[in-house]
Amino acid sequence: MATWKLGDVQVTRIEEMIGEASYPPAEYFSEFDRAVLERHLGWLAPNHYIPARNMLITSVHSWLIRTPHHTILLDACAGNHKERQWWPRFHQLNTPFLERLAAAGARPEDVDVVMCTHLHADHIGWNTVLRDGRWVPTFPNAKYVLSRKECEFWDPRGKSPELAADPGRRVAFADSVLPVLEAGQAQLVDGTHAIDDGLIVEPAPGHTDGHVLLKLSGGVFCGDVIHHPLQICMPQWNSRFCVLPDQARATRRKVLEHCAESGALLFPTHFGAPHVAAIDASARGFSARFVAAAV
Ligand SMILES: [Zn+2]
């Protein structure tokens, strides 16, 4: 189990899966340039890119953040038993995610905060589990911190009627977000929000309009602001999943600047091993200095 220490906070990576991304690089990045990939091959292979297969490596994991006051699960992967025909990598999974969480020392009832950086299907799955044929919140004692803007966008009952016609989105919201809302466990946040003094939720729009991130002393949990480490060198490159391209670039640059200036480590949701990076800035741009787990 990989754990990083930030002062008196412990951060443990809980893996759901790691492997090839669903798309080759030229389809994954909207501004892809093969010459750039070739230039960075020395550090990208084999943990972040497999040259022989021309495939990027992406991880899907949660961050278990233990502070003196809270046990937080940040981002909830894809989950088990979910109907995701439209995204084969995540269709009807059956992974030992909760066993891995237990091995890290956290039972579902120990988690008091679940936070989703956004509501794409690979960030909400473990919000719920299937029990007696019904989707129920996995973490009975947790409040689920969700961006209100994000929730309103994805809720097919709400402001985006075009989503109601998208069966995939409708299903994901219905099985992984709606049960949390109905259980009264959601805390919808607007703008900047303090979970407590040291844990700050901030808007980070671009990948989705309502995307948020979590900052604490020494770390930034950036969700999908940065999908793949190549975007540290190429912050102008968006993934195919970023819905507001210009804002996504601006937010990515802002997060990288913050990390470079403050020394905060970057904890994204999809980086391959060792999953965490410090950010250096120079006249040539940003670069990643990977930071292995302390334990
Ligand atoms: Zn994602």
Query: What pLDDT score does 166 carry?
Result: 74
Q: How many angstroms separate the alpha carbon of residue 165 from the centre of ligand 1?
A: 22
Higher pLDDT, 231 or 294: 231
- Residues of the chain with pLDDT > 90, as a percent, come to 91
Query: What pLDDT score does 200 carry?
Result: 98
Q: How many angstroms separate the alpha carbon of residue 122 from the centre of ligand 1?
A: 5
Q: How many angstroms separate the alpha carbon of residue 124 from the centre of ligand 1?
A: 10
Q: How many angstroms separate the alpha carbon of residue 208 from the centre of ligand 1?
A: 11
* Least confident segment among 6-20, 71-85, 145-159, 170-184: 145-159
- Categorize the per-residue pLDDT at 157 as very low, low, confident or very high, splitting at 50, 70 and 90: confident
Q: How many angstroms separate the alpha carbon of residue 66 from the centre of ligand 1?
A: 22
Q: How many angstroms separate the alpha carbon of residue 283 from the centre of ligand 1?
A: 30
Of 246, 207, 233, 122, nearest to 172 by C-alpha is 122
Q: How many angstroms separate the alpha carbon of residue 19 from the centre of ligand 1?
A: 14
Q: How many angstroms separate the alpha carbon of residue 185 from the centre of ligand 1?
A: 23
Query: What pLDDT score does 155 carry?
Result: 85
b/e for 186-199, b at 16 or more Cβ within 10 A?
A: bbebeeebebeebb
Q: How many angstroms separate the alpha carbon of residue 15 from the centre of ligand 1?
A: 13
**pLDDT surpasses 90 at 91:** yes
Query: What pLDDT score does 106 carry?
Result: 98
Q: How many angstroms separate the alpha carbon of residue 272 from the centre of ligand 1?
A: 13
Q: How many angstroms separate the alpha carbon of residue 36 from the centre of ligand 1?
A: 23
Q: How many angstroms separate the alpha carbon of residue 81 from the centre of ligand 1?
A: 18
Query: What pLDDT score does 197 carry?
Result: 86
Query: What pLDDT score does 161 carry?
Result: 64
Q: How many angstroms separate the alpha carbon of residue 76 from the centre of ligand 1?
A: 10
Average pLDDT, the chain: 95
Q: What DSSP assignment string belongs to the chain?
A: --EEEETTEEEEEEEEEEEE-SS-HHHHBTT--HHHHHHTHHHHTTTTEEGGGTEEEEEEEEEEEE-SS-EEEE---S-SS---TTSGGGTT----HHHHHHHTT--GGG--EEE-SS-STTTTGGGEEEETTEEEES-TT-EEEEEHHHHHHH-TTTT-HHHHT-HHHHHHHHHHTHHHHHTT-EEEE-SSEEEETTEEEEE--SSSTT-EEEEETTEEEEETSS-STHHHH-TTPPBTT-SSHHHHHHHHHHHHHHHHHH-PEEEESS--TT--EEEEEETTEEEEEE-----
Q: How many angstroms separate the alpha carbon of residue 271 from the centre of ligand 1?
A: 10
Q: How many angstroms separate the alpha carbon of residue 268 from the centre of ligand 1?
A: 9
Q: How many angstroms separate the alpha carbon of residue 259 from the centre of ligand 1?
A: 20
- Residues of the chain with pLDDT > 70, as a percent, come to 98
Q: How many angstroms separate the alpha carbon of residue 120 from the centre of ligand 1?
A: 6
**pLDDT surpasses 80 at 275:** yes
- Categorize the per-residue pLDDT at 1 as very low, low, confident or very high, splitting at 50, 70 and 90: confident
Q: How many angstroms separate the alpha carbon of residue 52 from the centre of ligand 1?
A: 25
Q: How many angstroms separate the alpha carbon of residue 10 from the centre of ligand 1?
A: 23
- Categorize the per-residue pLDDT at 162 as very low, low, confident or very high, splitting at 50, 70 and 90: low
Residue 218: count other Cβ atoms within 10 Å of its Cβ: 16
> Partners of 143 in the beta sheet?
113
Q: How many angstroms separate the alpha carbon of residue 77 from the centre of ligand 1?
A: 8
pTM of this structure? 0.96
Query: Can you tell me the mean pLDDT for 274-284?
Result: 96
